Amino acid sequence: EISCVTGVQTCALPISETMDADVGVRQAETELMLNSTNSPGLLRNHAACTHIINLTRINAGNAEKVLNIKQDERFHKLLKLLERDTHNLYPATIIACLKALKRLDIPPDSAAVKNLENSLLWVLRSCPTKDLLNVFTFTMNQETEAGKKIFNEVCQTLERRWVELTDARQLVVLFGHSHKLSISLLEKLEDRLQDTVEDLSPYDLVSIFTTFGRIGRRSMPVLRSLGFHIAKNRAYLNIKQIADVLFACNKLAYKDQETLERLCSALESLVESNDNLAVVRSILTSLGQLKLVTPTVLDMISDWYSKRLADNKLVENRDLSTLLLTLANLNYQPFDREDFFSKVVEGLNQEKILAGPRGDQQWLNVVWALTVLNRASNQHFQSVLEPAFATNLLENREARQTLSKWLNVNAAASASKEYTGPCVKVSESPELLDLGPPPSPPKIHFKKMVFETLTTLFPLPRFMAEDIKTGAGLTLDAEIIVDSNAKPLQVEEYTSKFGLQSPKKVLPNGAHRIAIFLTPFQETLIGGGRTGGVELNVRLAREQGYIPLIINHKTIDTSMKAISIDRKSVV
């Protein structure tokens, strides 16, 4: 039974009776609205629109009722009224009425629909910007000629009246559908945003910035302005908003160091009180992919996970794997965290990870991260190098992107004096030489510029070899051999190709093999420094007897006329 109150009297009605009463009320309302057409002199266009909207609302889901309404002569009188008069209707009323007529399956070429669309077209010239945005969202996906015509008109009206757009919510709507707007209108909207950015609330700033991230619009002047004011108002943001901004920065590859560090400084007072695992995962993922090292924040997040583990609170495998991957990518280990890493490794459930989606790849990522951090055990090595795991990984086409990590682990295990488990001998599997990620466009561009300098010192191909496939999950961008006086030697005569073949000549005393790694700005840590992947490659090259040479965007000054290489790049 459901209790109901009528006046001061309280009664209890069975649910079935209540439902019947509700049906009766809807029927009475329907009849009342339809009977209003019996007094045509008193019925106006606004009331006719309201009746059609309400008739659709209260009878939605009842096909029989809707059919009866459409066949009712009184309903046709409502349509006839709209065929004659739609003057002075509000845009919101017209839009709601058009939606109702569409739900009633009234043909788009009916006189009432056409008259409403024509009125909507004319009212655009003088309606407030709020109504313009409503019309914009209503017509942007219209397929009819009239709908397309209205949409084009609203876009032109917005372009004429762009200076009136000051509401952040309006800007969010427009930027969210930027693919529907002309370039000139987008540029004007960005100019308007620049003019009003100081007056926007922190919430609006975050909303617009994350919208840019969602649509992938990378207008640097606007991003700098938004980023500056968001960082300036960081004290008013919660941890979710900061996580969303970092996510947008990652999507847009926006790496302004000062802005990012100021944002992260606000996290220091928010991490400890947070209880949302997804937010922390998002922050870690963004920091790792942005390549931003923030020691204080990373330490606090590590402490946060450590406390949850100690208190037996929920911590999922993906939380711990995300933490390890982020620390590995950033080449960072929290200070004095031996017990913490032990708990993290202990908390990882290999069986559950392998049983999940893309389990082989996820577990390989974990082992690779532990290898980068120098915390992989013999059991970890063996878990991904045993024949069954290796076969599944090599036969899985979706896993090819992670095969370079598998070769990294294989090379690290082969170089370990303590590991005695299975390894893959690259010399016996030549097809492994071709495995590895292709160079990124920034890497290709950076390499072209660097080689213009290097080849003047070490001409190709006699004194320098390029793109050496190592079979260890890395490719040497260049290999050179020099004697004790730093004089170049012919590469082909002395190279071992990373241990894959015997050199033709014995290396002279005092000579050195130099492995050159090129790391453009996009592949270095923000503020400088090597990522975990580069650090692992350096270790693997050193294990094979090479002297690694890192050339990054700070090593060579392109404005210099004389050749100069920073000696600190040699490690």
pLDDT tens for the 571 residues of the chain, in order: 333 333 333 334 343 444 445 677 778 888 888 888 887 667 888 998 999 999 888 887 788 888 888 888 988 889 999 998 888 899 999 999 999 999 988 999 999 999 999 999 998 888 899 999 999 999 998 888 998 999 999 999 999 999 888 888 888 889 888 888 889 999 999 998 998 898 889 999 999 999 999 989 999 999 999 999 999 999 999 999 999 999 999 999 999 999 999 999 999 999 999 999 999 999 999 999 999 999 999 999 999 999 999 898 999 999 999 999 999 999 998 877 778 888 888 888 889 998 888 889 999 999 999 999 999 999 999 999 999 998 888 887 777 678 889 999 999 999 998 999 999 887 777 677 766 677 889 899 999 888 888 888 888 888 998 888 887 888 889 999 999 888 999 888 887 665 556 778 888 888 998 999 999 988 999 988 899 999 999 999 898 888 999 998 888 766 655 555 454 444 4
CA atoms within 13 A on the CB side of 494: 22
Kindly report whether the peptide bond that precedes residue 461 is cis, defined as omega within 30 degrees of 0. Answer: yes
Residue labelled with tokens 């070899």: 465
Tokens of 457: 């010192």
Phi-psi category of residue 313: left, alpha or beta, with phi > 0 → left and psi -120 to 50 → alpha: beta
Phi, psi of 288 (to 5 degrees): -65, -45
Spatial CA neighbour of 495 closest among 509, 483, 484, 506? 506
Helix axes 91-103, 129-139, angle to 10 degrees: 20
Q: H or E element: which one contains 152?
A: helix 145-160
Could you tell me the pTM of the whole model?
Answer: 0.81
What is the DSSP code (8-state) at residue 570?
A: B
Extract the tokens encoding 158: 């917005």
Mention every residue, 6+ apart, whose C-beta is less than 8 A from residue 126.
none
Positions of E strands within 270-429: none
Calpha distance 216→269 (Å, rounded): 30
CA neighbours closer than 13 Å in the CB half-sphere of residue 110: 17
Helix (H, G, I), strand (E, B) or coil at 407: helix
Type of residue at 122: W
475 DSSP assignment? E
Q: What's phi and psi for 478, nearest 5 deg? A: -160, 155
Nearest to 77 by CA among 102, 30, 40: 40
- Of the candidates 284, 279, 268, the one whose C-alpha atom is nearest the C-alpha of residue 244 is 279
Token readout for 557 is 């000054």
Please give the Cα distance from 383 to 374 (Å, whole number): 16
Give the contacts of 461 (CB within 8 A, at least 6 positions apart). 491, 492
Tokens 């669309």: give the residue.
117
**C-alpha span between 220 and 222 (Å, rounded):** 5
How many other C-beta atoms can be found within 10 angstroms of the C-beta atom of residue 477?
Answer: 22
How is 509-540 classified by DSSP, letter by letter?
Answer: TT-EEEEEEEE-GGGS-TTS---HHHHHHHHH
